[in-house]
Structure 1
Amino acid sequence: MTTQADKPVKAERSFPKPQFTDAEAGALDFPSSTSRAFSYYTPQKLRATMYEDVTFDVQPDPERHLLQGWIYGFADGSSGYPQDWTALKSSDWHRFLDPNEEWEQTIYRNNANVVRQVQQNLANARKAEAYRQWTRSWASFVERHVGAWMHAEQGLGMHVFVAIQRSAPTNMINNALAVNGAHKLRFAQDLALYNLDVEEQLDGFDGSAHKAVWQSDPAWQGVRENVERLTAVADWAEALCAANLVFEPLVGELFRSHLVLQIAARNGDYTTPTVMGAGENDYDRDLRYTRALFTLLLGDDAHGAGNRAVVQEWLGRWVPVALDAARRLQPLWSQPAEKPVRFEDSLDRAKERFARLAEDLGLQSPAGRTSERTAK
């Protein structure tokens, strides 16, 4: 029988004791040690905003705090977020701050509000049987042409903005581009769901007619060509310029605002404007950041003149394409029974809007000169 005394005594184990040298993290006091605000950037105003706190330097940059250089690269030898992915140049890309202050929380909150509003309007329309008040010509217009617009939004969202949303040199610009893509995809989805809702409620409404219209209707082939050309642009800033500064005012607003929103009520439709208006509100927000970015780039002390020459060349390239797309849409103005606006008047307003936009940026508008003749 083994007793307690017979058991071998284990040697006491020893462990190295920590030696504090005051070199470890948190050991030293710095001027901002007790501050509850970030000090690695200068806020635009007196106090930093939540947007600045969660956006500045989230994407590391060797020009700021990434001392060892980019930590990843590509097979062609480029690394990180190359600045030569656009022909435009900037003395400091980090100077751009999104005036919409979009980040994760605001993206979900703003889009949820839009979706909630659209759903409530559609529920009210179903309850009031509002679709049954439409004339057959207007129902045909909605199923064919309002439905066709979802393809333009889907193409821009998925194959333009989603494609370029990580191409800019800073997280602030990429956030804005990503939100722009989210707006486009959500609006395309709004139109698709609206199309299905009307098909369920209105007898004789063909919910699939928009596909053939987008693919083969001559009136839409200019818009389709414009969108498809945009998907092939490699320069992210050119794609942004051609989409938000050219296509949207000359084609997007022409169709959404100067046609659908103008004539829907005259044809007994008070529901479509609420859906289409959500897309107009999206563009207002997206244009706000686009103007801020190009104002910064075109006014750059070192590169402003060169950037203006490049953007002016882009306008000369894309305005004729957009005007051609706009003019091919002309037959749509004669299809509804009630036609309170003329196509030429609508196009003139769209061109005036584009001209003011170009002028505000210090650019010349080619919309009323050689480009117009080329588009014809």
Structure 2
Amino acid sequence: MTGQPRKARPRRTFSAFGDVRRMPSEYEIVTHGQNWTMRANRPSAFEHNPSSPPNLWFLTYRENSPLKAEDWEQFRDPDSMTYKTYVNLQAEAETKTAGVLEEFAEANADSALTPGQVALLGSMFTPSRYLLHGCQQVEAYIGYMAPTSYVTNAASFATADYLRRVTLTAYRTRELQLAHPDSGIGTAERGIWENDEAWQPARQAIEKALIAYDWGEAFTALNLVLAPTIDDVLVRQFTEVSRDNGDQLSWLLLSFLQADNDRRNRWSAALAGFCLQQKPENADVLRRWIARWTPVADAAAHGLGRLLETRPEHGRAADEVAAGAKAAREAFHARLFEGLEAAGEGKRAG
């Protein structure tokens, strides 16, 4: 009909995502804009009292972090993990873990462990729950302080992964204590964590990470440096040595955990790459933090390597352990460092 204005076409997507002309995925719908400490066009949920301690904390360690982005809401977890998919995934993983634990318990496998392997388990595996709990706390802090719910969710699932590891370690500690009541397992771990020289670099590393209050530095310290380094010792190399010493249960259980570590590494590398795409000057920020935390991680790996060298019958030299952990971290960093170099070259060219 002539003379009448045309009706505007209805939006085919959600307004929170802008004029993107596409249907958001389920992952985006349940994740987008869910960070309660953020508000559109305002930095914090505490804007009505800008001088309150919580608001000042977020202002100092998040909004004023040297790690910047034009729009944090554009980041995406490469696994598109939601609460539903995470729970289903880990339910399957726990079913497999429970089956292995039951099978080895029925076979009374712990009683057949060699003295050297029992010593390794009691000096390295069972005390590791203190370190893992510290990692869990740092990961939870990263999620709480993150400037977007896309990072908050990913870090929350990584926090749950650490809780799963702590729980499994505690469960195995009790099983080993029952099988070897005179070994000190189940009672000596705190003293080992606090006083054993081999553990002190790792203890120092996580305690320093716990006071890395800038959210970007905490993310870099744990997810980009400490975790990739230490996990290579506590998971890959520990399981290899355990297998060589006839401990098939430890080899199997900790190998299952590698899937959690790989998932954390994927979204962490993606976030670092996203930061470089958003602002090339983030390259210098990440380089500085990585350089600060690398010696701390290497010292922790070498200290733990001493346990792999001295405790089991078939061990591995501490220098070899540290070199292996460093190589694993550098392999993880390979693409990231390529991005850092490209960003640096682009900045210098500009």
- TM bucket (normalised to shorter chain) is 0.7 to 0.9
Equivalences for residues 1-376 of structure 1 within 5 A: 31-32=9-10, 38=14, 40-41=16-17, 48-59=24-35, 62-63=39-40, 72-73=46-47, 76=51, 78=55, 82=59, 83-158=62-137, 160-205=138-183, 206-258=185-237, 260-300=238-278, 303-304=279-280, 306-339=281-314, 341-362=316-337
Q: 1:186: Cα distance to partner?
A: 1.7
Q: Distance in 2 between matches of 1:44 and 1:249?
A: 36
Q: Which amino acid aligns with 1:327?
A: H
RMSD value, Cα: 2.8
Q: 1:353: Cα distance to partner?
A: 2.4
Between 328-337 and 141-150, report the one with greater CA deviation. Answer: 328-337
SS of equivalent to 1:233: coil
SS of equivalent to 2:17: coil
Provide structure 2 residue ranges, at least 5 long, that are not aligned to the other structure. Answer: 1-6, 341-350
Change (3 A) 1:253 1:30: farther
Q: Which amino acid aligns with 2:287?
A: Q
Q: Distance in 1 between matches of 2:96 and 2:291?
A: 39
SS of equivalent to 1:271: helix
SS of equivalent to 1:361: helix
Bigger proportion of residues as helix: 2
* Contact persistence 1:72–1:79 (CA under 8 A): no
Q: 1:364: Cα distance to partner?
A: 10
* Contact persistence 1:358–1:364 (CA under 8 A): no
Q: 1:195: Cα distance to partner?
A: 0.9
* Contact persistence 2:309–2:315 (CA under 8 A): no
Q: Which amino acid aligns with 1:72?
A: F
Change (3 A) 1:52 1:81: farther
Aligned to 1:10: none
Q: Distance in 1 between matches of 2:45 and 2:193?
A: 44
User: Which digits, 9 at most, give the CA deviation of each residue in 1:174-203, with x for residues without a partner?
Assistant: 111111111112211110111112222445
Change (3 A) 1:45 1:346: farther
Q: What is the total number of aligned residue pairs between the two structures?
A: 327
Q: Distance in 2 between matches of 1:298 and 1:40?
A: 25
* Contact persistence 1:263–1:339 (CA under 8 A): yes
* Contact persistence 1:96–1:172 (CA under 8 A): yes
SS of equivalent to 1:219: coil
Q: 1:112: Cα distance to partner?
A: 2.4
Aligned to 2:343: none
Q: 1:310: Cα distance to partner?
A: 0.9
Q: Which amino acid aligns with 1:292?
A: A
* Contact persistence 2:116–2:313 (CA under 8 A): no
Q: 1:117: Cα distance to partner?
A: 2.1
* Contact persistence 1:56–1:171 (CA under 8 A): yes
SS of equivalent to 1:329: helix
Q: Distance in 2 between matches of 1:220 and 1:80?
A: 32
TM-score by length of 2: 0.84
* Contact persistence 1:253–1:280 (CA under 8 A): no
Q: 1:81: Cα distance to partner?
A: 6.3
* Contact persistence 1:246–1:322 (CA under 8 A): yes
Q: Distance in 2 between matches of 1:30 and 1:71?
A: 35
Q: Distance in 1 between matches of 2:163 and 2:173?
A: 15
Aligned to 1:20: none
Q: Distance in 2 between matches of 1:99 and 1:44?
A: 20
Aligned to 2:345: none
Q: 1:142: Cα distance to partner?
A: 0.8
- Residue identity over aligned pairs, in percent, reads 23
Q: Distance in 1 between matches of 2:186 and 2:81?
A: 35
Provide structure 1 residue ranges, at least 5 long, that are not aligned to the other structure. Answer: 1-28, 366-376
Change (3 A) 1:268 1:71: closer
Change (3 A) 1:220 1:63: same
Q: Which amino acid aligns with 1:41?
A: F
Q: 1:173: Cα distance to partner?
A: 0.9
* Contact persistence 1:263–1:340 (CA under 8 A): yes
